[in-house]
Structure 1
Amino acid sequence: MTALTGPGPRPAPSAGFDGSGIDGGLYTDITHDAQHAPWLLNDTVCTWSAFGLALFAALMLVAWWRARRSDSPMMARALAVPLVVVAVYGVDLLLKAVVREERPCRSIPGSFTLAACPPRDDWSFPSNHAVVAFAAAGALWLVDRRVGAVAVLAAVAMAASRVWIGVHYPHDVAAGALVGIALAVPLTVFATHGARWVERARKGRLRPLLVAPA
């Protein structure tokens, strides 16, 4: 069973922005529900929140594999997905450094969390996990609708899990979703310009990796 961390004294104030006035009440309601939820549900959510991003890496591989039967522009998009996600994550880190929002588990007195509250200076807005998950989902949607649909559902589950375990406000994950999609979609479309390089590679030694057997 996951070890639950209960209410405690209010942490010492920090230089970070306090976002509790935005939706701190909703955050408290959600974590209160988590506190009284069955342990099996909470263990499942904690495990997903900690390791679920690995699924998106697997979906990227599936999208690449399926793109071997598609044209060169689509393969260019499939190959670009990991690069797009890394680029969006870099923007996310910059936003965190600018906004400097303190974690809700540090700002709200008596916060209940299912996971340890992240250390100071590990800012809350936007949610890294939500940004990465939705960036991957947005990019994959433009490569393969079936794979993308799975990724979208997984991204929603990832974002929700970050609030449920108590390490993010709802607005953190909502902003993360918007940032991820808003940046990943145009970047993935732009990656289509790499089709001419894919076309060349498909005629060379990399052909087995880029074209499915007839």
Structure 2
Amino acid sequence: MTAAATAQLAFDGSGIDGSLFTSVTDFARDTRWLNTPMEVWTNLGLGVFAVLMVMGWWAARRRGAQAMAVALAAPVAVVTAFSVAEVIKKVVGEVRPCRSMPHAYLVDACPAPSDYAFPSGHSTVAAAAVAALFLLDRRLSVIAAVFAVVEGFSRVYVGAHYPHDVLGSVVLALPVAYLTSLALRRWATPLVAALSRGALRPLLTAEPGAATRAVP
């Protein structure tokens, strides 16, 4: 099947909130000075969530095995949510706005026809990081939430996704990442406690006796 035929068979989401999408992209057209910073942020900004998870891991070294289990579970939870999103993306098959609404002002380049829009992978990673960090450090989770809002807006601003793509990512990622972290916390805590007494101790704990301390 050709790329053109694939695009024709895919779902057109412009009828859901195409007008809102156009309002945001019109704003992008009127703020061209912001185009490059937003285009850079929409991709590289995901690194902020990795940094926040590293910060959570570092702090968890002084908080015991349970906190460390949650810290180590965070990236797993994010990858799990992203994987689920990718499956849903293939099932729904919503074409990108650049193909459904080519007349809109677009900052980002149009991806291949087989790269579908719903849900947004970038927004999924951002929202999943918020949920994963919530069990570890509420302050880091709040910081992640602020950056997640910016990330979600940037996906619409550059023309890569409709608003409902971003919202769908949040609805999907929050429970998936949270439940994954919750399950891994219960399963991995005894393992982390055991490993904290071995060669991996410097990576898992920073204080004597920390291996048995629970998250407050």
Identity of aligned residues (%): 43
Q: In the aligned structure 2, how far is the partner of 1:44 from the partner of 1:109?
A: 22
Residues matched between the structures, number: 203
Q: In the aligned structure 1, how far is the partner of 2:75 from the partner of 2:102?
A: 39
Deviations 1:67-124 (A, max 9, x none): 0111211110100111111111111111001000011111014121111011111000
Q: Which residue of 2 aligns with 1:22?
A: 16
Q: Which residue of 1 aligns with 2:120?
A: 127
Q: In the aligned structure 2, how far is the partner of 1:53 from the partner of 1:109?
A: 27
Q: In the aligned structure 1, how far is the partner of 2:64 from the partner of 2:102?
A: 55
Q: Which residue of 1 aligns with 2:170?
A: 177
Q: Which residue of 2 aligns with 1:195?
A: 189
Q: Which residue of 2 aligns with 1:112?
A: 105
The one-letter amino acid of 1:106's match is R
Q: Which residue of 2 aligns with 1:89?
A: 82
Q: Which runs of 5+ in 2 are unaligned?
A: 209-216
* Cα RMSD for the two superposed structures: 1.5
Q: In the aligned structure 1, how far is the partner of 2:111 from the partner of 2:157?
A: 15
Q: Which runs of 5+ in 1 are unaligned?
A: 1-10
The alpha-carbon distance between structure 1 residues 74 and 213, as it changes in their structure 2 partners (threshold 3 A), is closer
Q: In the aligned structure 2, how far is the partner of 1:79 from the partner of 1:69?
A: 14
Q: Which residue of 2 aligns with 1:66?
A: 59
Identify which of 154, 157, 170 aligns with 1:164: 157
If each structure's helix is expressed as a fraction of its own residues, which one has the higher value? 2
Q: Which residue of 2 aligns with 1:3?
A: none
Give the TM-score normalised by the residue count of structure 1: 0.91
Deviation at 1:141, TM superposition (A): 1.6
The one-letter amino acid of 2:120's match is S
Deviation at 1:44, TM superposition (A): 1.4
Q: In the aligned structure 2, how far is the partner of 1:87 from the partner of 1:55?
A: 19
Q: In the aligned structure 2, how far is the partner of 1:46 from the partner of 1:142?
A: 31
Deviation at 1:202, TM superposition (A): 1.0
The one-letter amino acid of 2:56's match is A
Q: In the aligned structure 1, how far is the partner of 2:32 from the partner of 2:16?
A: 28
| Residues 26-65 of structure 1 aligned to structure 2 (within 5 Å) | 26-39=20-33, 41-65=34-58
Deviations 1:23-80 (A, max 9, x none): 00000111011101141x2221111002111111111111100001112111101001
Identify which of 126, 129, 150 aligns with 1:136: 129
Q: Which residue of 2 aligns with 1:6?
A: none
1:204 aligns with 2:198: yes
The one-letter amino acid of 1:207's match is R
SS of residue paired to 1:126 = coil
